[in-house]
Structures are given as C-alpha cells and as structure tokens.
Structure 1
Amino acid sequence: MATTSARTLRLLSLLGTGRTRSGAELCARLEVSERTLRRDVEVLREMGYAVDPVKGVGGGYRLGPGGALPPVVLDEDQVVAVVVALQTASTALLGIEESARRALSTLRQVMPRRLRGDAELPVTPVVNQWEFPAEPIAAGLVREVGAAVRRRQVLRLDVDDEAVRVEPHHLVVWAARWYLVAFDLWAGRWRVLRLDRVTLHPPTGSGFAERPLPEGGPVEFVRHTPDRGDRPAPWPCLGHVDLALPAAVVAEFAPGGAVVEAVTTTSCRLTMGAWSWSGLAGLYLTFGAEMGRVEPVELREAFTAARELLGRAVGGG
C-alpha cells in the first residue's frame, strides 16, 4: 500500500480530471477502506482544495475550484500585485489580452478560498494616446475599494477636502491612473474620482442595488469626463490654452496629467505640460482646433517660432 502522502497525491490526481468519482471507485483504485478514503479527503481539504461530496445515485467526490496544482501560497498584497499585473498587461503588450485572461483564470482555480475574493478585483485597463504615468498607488487602497465594488458596499470618502458618500461601481485604469466610477449619493450624480486623491473612512457596511451606468459604460464615462480630479503633471513647461472643442472631446484625447475645464458647451480650457515649450506647442496643435487665450508668454513665443518654421517648410525656403 502506498504511503499516506503518495496516496493523497494519487487521490488528487484522480479527482483532478473534474469528474465525479464514486467512493467505491476511489477505494478500489487506491486500495483503501472507506474510512481511509474519508481521512485522505479531509487531508486535501486542509491543504486548501475544495473536495465536494456529491450525493444521490452516481454520487461520490468531485474536485471543485482548487485546480490540479498545489495551493498557491500568496498573501493579500501579493494577490493584488498579480491580479493588477495580469489585468493591466494589455496596456503595455499587444496581443496578450487572451493569455492574461487565461492565466488569471488558472490562478483563481489554484488559489485557496480565502484569497479568491481579492483575485476578482474589478478593474478595466484603458490605453490613452499619450501615456504620462502617475505616481504608484497604494495596493491596500486598490484592494479595499475593489472589495467594496465587488461586494456592492457604500463608501465614505474624503476627496481632497470634500467629504462624499458614494456607491462604488467600477475601477478603470486610464493613462496609467486609477479612477473610480461612483454614484455620489449626496450630490445625486455620477462621478469619476482619482483614486490617489481619495482617503477612505471605515466601512459603512451598507449595501446598494445595481443602477443603470452612464451611457456607454464606465470606460466611456471616464474617457469623456473632463472633471476626473486630475492635476497638471510636473513638467518643466506648463501651458494654458482655450480650445474651440467641447470639453468631453478634449478629455478623451488629452494626455495623462492634463486638466480640462469647460468654458462653454463648445469650448474648453486645456492645461498641460511638456519637456519644452516647442514640444508643448506641438501637443496643442495635435487637436487641430482654433485657439483663444494662450498662456504663458513662452508658449505664445513657441507658437510664433513654430509658425515661422512651418512657413519656411511649406514655402520651400
């Protein structure tokens, strides 16, 4: 007869096919009594595997989510690290989306039950046209807010100096920045909140029901919302220009760290930075829109210099 450890691994191999196996079959294959089989099943459960009893005709034992590999030993922060890396991998590598999804699914299957909730972090990565990364965000904050999204629990937050009570519905990574799509219960409207601007209060324990999301879903809502709580990124050169475009249009294509403010329904003010004044002028020109007020004087001079360069290029001089 095999040793206890070897026999347990053999039992795990038999159950790992996903089929329901009767107790009689397992006893015969392992050459053990029903009492020993029950003891070996308990050993697997103590190791973190979900060995489920199946009652009735054709019943026996079946291996639930827990996989055909030993349990993955990860703490909560490691789970968040792996999940975020897999879910945001498509923002850095093309053609990896399906592989990342399958890897995440495999990880969930072999993960102990106590960590599977953290492995279902509800986040959608979105690639912005210009990736100017923000400072790294605390994993604990992502985990706590993600858990509230998953469990549909109301959050009390401080956003900068503003106290709010929100229904957290979705996390979106946009231009390497984390945003929370939430319904503000006190203001009675949908909002996009920069997660690194948020301070959490203790859990409220209050649940909330699903409500219709803004048109287009959470990703489109983040893309087209000018007021995302952004601040100008710390570039050497910072400019302010009025553009003859709606704020929602500019918000979608503005680089990370830019600030969009509506002026009228058809115009907005875009504040952004770059490594040089000529480079900043070029970024504004990519919008192809009429410009109003331009500040500071260094940016106006950069536009003048660009006009002269373009004039010579077009004129062939």
Structure 2
Amino acid sequence: MTQDLPARMLRLLSLLQTRRTWSGAELAERLGVTLRTIRRDIDRLRDLGYPVEGTTGQAGGYRLAAGADLPPLLLDDEEAVAIAVALRTAASGVAGIEETAVRALAKLEQVLPVRLRHQVATIQATTAPLPLPWSTGPTADPSTLATLAAACRDHELVAFTYETGSGEIGQRRVEPHALVAADPVWYLVAYDTEHEQWRLFRVDRITDPAPTGRRVTPRELPAPDAAAYVAERLAAAPARYTFHASVPADADTVRARTYSLPGRVRPVDDHTSTLDLAANNPRRIAEQLLTIDLGPDDTIHGTPELAPYLEQLGRRLLRAAGALTRHDANGAEDR
C-alpha cells in the first residue's frame, strides 16, 4: 500500500502515528503546505484504507483511529532497530509475551533493510539472556496492559475489577496516570475517584478493564514521576519483619549491595548510612544483610521475631566454614 503514496503523504502518515491528535494548521506547518492540501491528502489516506478521523471544536483536528485491520507502520532506522532488539529480549512479567514477540519479530525482520538486519543480528549475537530467580513471578495479561496504556495516554477514566492482597474483590473507577514495570510485577499508578486519593494497583490483579469514554484533565502526581511514586509506596508498605541499622558505607553502595528501594537507605554522611529493611519473608532480610557490614550494636533494632532466622542462617554459614576448614586441614595432612 505505502509504495503508492508520495513522499509528502508518507510524512503525513508518519506524523499521524506519532501523536494522538494534530490540528490541520499544525500538519500544514510541519509539511509546508496549505490546509486545502492537507484535507486532500487526508481524503486520499482514507481512500487507501487508513482510518483517519476528523474532530471538531476547540481541540479539533485529525487522528489515526483504530480500524478493522492494522495499517502499515512507518518507522525510521533507529525505531526499527529498537523494536527488533526489544522483541528479541521480550520483557518479563507479561503472560505469553515470548511467543508473541517471536511472531512479531519474524514479520519485522522479513522487511528490514539489509543494513538494519545486520545491526540487529550483531546485537543479538553479542547478547546472552540470563533468567534470574527474582525475575519470575506474577504475569500481567497483555490485553489488560494495552487497555490500561491507552487509557493512560488518552487521560480516560477506566473501570475494572480488582482483587486486593487479602483476597477482597471489588469494582474500581480510576483516572489512570502511568504503568510501571517493577520487574517482574507491573503496577498501575492511578487516582481512585471513589476514595479520592492516589493508589497503586497490581496489574496481575486487575480484570475486565473498560474505558468509560470520559476524558479528564491530568492531575499532578505527588512524586517526581511514576517510578518514584511506586518506589515510595513499596518502601512504605507495612511488613511482618523489620530491621534497622547504621552501615559504615555511603548510601549508593548500600543501596546497590542490598538491592534496596531508594527510600530504604538514607545517607548520614559520605561514609555512613542508615538502612531500613522490611519483608514478610525473613529470609529476604537475612540475604540482604549478608552483603554489608553493620555499624555499632546500639544502632541495630527491629522485629525481635526476626532474630531466630538470622541465628539459623549464621549457624549454617559457620557450619559451612567449619567444613571447609576441616577439609583443608585433612588435605594438608595427606600432603
């Protein structure tokens, strides 16, 4: 289809694919033509099967709508390579994404120019995936993600059924702000209109999302960005076990070694930080503590019930160390 389009119309189609709505004046200015030419080109795109809608009113203009069939997409070189690489290393946390990505990649590589195909192949040949145990977990439904992403983009109220961590199921109606992938869990950041406050929703617990058709003015998020908001909420979430200590290391080092959320580590000075750990599984805290040295005993406090688990891990490590020492001694005698 696209080989029949003149260069100007290809540019017009590309613009329509990059933003939801364009005014006729904006398109005319971008392409250096008159409004009459824009209207004529829009009509020809429609004749060729592209579902271009015209909107009226103060915010009127043109937009490329969803049609019965997926029209060809126009990608520049960098976009094509980025999509191909992303498909080869499909993100975790989405149900069935690997198989779907393979099908999409096969279609894309079939039409990639040789020079771009070589770039993608080079990246693939020098990249090795490493599935990690902490990267497995609940998966989000791709159709649910797509519906929520569109609602975030269009600032459209969305309704869905939600199951809380305690198993309670209810209906929610929210103003969606953004999706955040906190490997492997996906979160929806949204303003709950019933409770009149910002909320965090796990996408794997959302079912039957339905756009309402009602657009809203975006609210200001109470955080620098959506990822920061998710990190703050997760860090503040209540947990069964807690542990606090002073650590003789800078905050960036402690955060990197313990894989802690930013809010869990706070700097005291250039060489000291405080660490706040929280988890429902005591093993998680024990594993984090193995990566760092702790400060004075009087800075350590937390849930007393955590102590037996730390002692148990300590005994296991001492036993392993003792076995290695005895093995080394026996080897020395044999020599």
TM-score bracket, normalised by the shorter chain, equals: 0.3 to 0.5
TM-score normalized by the length of structure 1? 0.47
Return the structure number with greater relative CO, CA threshold 8 A, min gap 6: 1
TM-score normalized by the length of structure 2? 0.45
Higher helix content, 1 or 2:
2
